[in-house]
């Protein structure tokens, strides 16, 4: 019997109208120094030339799946379901990996075999590029996700790799969410597996300025993950503080866009925490790292 050899990584790339970015994204994967991977691109009902551009790439590691538009969560879920790798590496269709990204993740996996979640640091397109002093490379095993993600996203959907068996038993992206579906999954994963293998190397370029970036759109309250948070049921103080900050960030976004009815709904749902949320909203109008980075997450 011939042994079936599966790739080490499955790279899952959902796309919807990414014709101006998708070739750069795919080429950043094909340029990886670690080459034991498959790439599954899910065309989520694109109406531009994205599919034609992907079809122009001839590489045996590339699989293309086309589906009716259903949102990024359904696209990622289908990609994961139709992949074969031992580790799932997520990448959005307008972001870029530096050539050593998968090699760095492999080093983290070898160094922290008990971890199931891995990530590297990243660069956001809105940041100004400066000639930073080269920092020493640090690999660490983190178990304080809520503290790390309090003000700036620690995990992103282009800088995270997850062991395949984590997606068993219904652990997938919530297809009812249009905003924060990634944060929702990270929280559920962290609560089950706790530890994250992390590298401080900036090996991912997060293209926040992309025209079709979902996080740049104003979410409907019912489709945002914080709408389902029940603060009274959260015992961990750091976790509760994290959620208060996320709720206040959403309120800040609604206030900025004069969606006062949504703010009223959020505050009435969390009336016991009215004062800390309002104080946080005020602080977000003055200074908020999200405003510089991923504004609407």
State whether 193 and 232 are in the same domain.
Answer: no
State whether 187 and 253 are in the same domain.
Answer: no
Residue 128 has pLDDT above 60, yes or no: no
Question: Is residue 151 situated within a structural domain?
Answer: yes
Indicate the residue among 174, 206, 238 that finishes a domain.
206
State whether 167 and 227 are in the same domain.
Answer: no
Q: Where are the beta strands (DSSP E) in the chain?
A: 9-15, 37-44, 62-67, 87-90, 96-97, 117-124, 139-142, 160-163, 196-206
C-alpha span between 61 and 40 (Å, rounded): 8
DSSP 3-state helix, strand, coil percentages of the chain (rounded to 5)? 40, 20, 40
Question: Is residue 2 situated within a structural domain?
Answer: no
State whether 78 and 177 are in the same domain.
Answer: yes
Beta bridge partners of 39: 11, 62
Residue 4 has pLDDT above 70, yes or no: no
What is the band of 286 on the pLDDT scale with cuts at 50, 70, 90?
Answer: low
Question: Is residue 1 situated within a structural domain?
Answer: no
SS3 of 119-159: the string is EEEEEECCCCCCCCCCCCCCEEEECCHHHHCCCCCCCCCCC
State whether 156 and 69 are in the same domain.
Answer: yes
Q: What is the pLDDT of residues 62-102, one digit of tens each?
A: 999 999 999 999 999 999 999 999 999 999 999 999 999 99
State whether 200 and 224 are in the same domain.
Answer: no
Question: Is residue 4 situated within a structural domain?
Answer: no
Taking phi over 0 as left and psi of -120 to 50 as alpha, with beta for the rest, 170 belongs to left
Print the domain residue range for 234: 218-292
C-alpha span between 128 and 204 (Å, rounded): 15
Q: What is the pLDDT of residues 244-258, one digit of tens each?
A: 988 888 888 888 888
Question: Is residue 212 situated within a structural domain?
Answer: no
State whether 181 and 239 are in the same domain.
Answer: no
- What's the total number of domains in the chain? 2
């Amino acid at each position: 019997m011939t042994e079936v050899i599966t790739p080490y990584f499955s790279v899952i790339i959902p796309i919807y109208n990414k014709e101006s970015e998708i070739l750069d994204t795919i080429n950043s994967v094909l340029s990886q120094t670690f080459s034991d991977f498959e790439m599954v691109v899910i065309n989520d009902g694109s109406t531009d030339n994205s599919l034609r551009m992907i079809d122009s790439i001839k590489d045996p590691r590339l699989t293309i799946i086309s589906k009716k538009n259903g949102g990024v969560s359904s696209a990622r879920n289908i990609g994961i379901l139709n992949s074969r790798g031992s580790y799932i590496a997520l990448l959005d269709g307008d972001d870029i990996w530096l050539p050593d990204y998968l090699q760095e993740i492999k080093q983290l996996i070898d160094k922290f075999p008990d971890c199931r979640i891995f990530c590297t640091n990243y660069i956001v397109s809105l940041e100004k590029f400066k000639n930073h002093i080269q920092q020493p490379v640090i690999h660490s095993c983190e178990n304080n996700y809520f503290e790390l993600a309090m003000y700036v996203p620690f995990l992103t959907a282009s800088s995270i790799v997850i062991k395949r068996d984590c997606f068993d038993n219904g652990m997938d992206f919530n297809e009812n969410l249009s905003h924060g579906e990634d944060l929702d999954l990270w929280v559920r994963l962290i609560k089950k597996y706790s530890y994250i293998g992390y590298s401080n190397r900036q090996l991912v370029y997060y293209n926040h300025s992309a025209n079709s970036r979902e996080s740049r759109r104003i979410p409907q309250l019912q489709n945002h993950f914080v709408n389902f948070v029940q603060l009274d049921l959260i015992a961990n103080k750091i976790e509760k503080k994290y959620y208060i900050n996320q709720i206040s960030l959403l309120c800040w976004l609604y206030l900025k866009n004069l969606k006062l009815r949504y703010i009223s709904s959020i505050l009435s749902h969390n009336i016991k925490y009215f004062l800390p949320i309002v104080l946080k909203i005020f602080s977000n109008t003055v200074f908020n790292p999200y405003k510089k980075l991923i504004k609407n997450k």
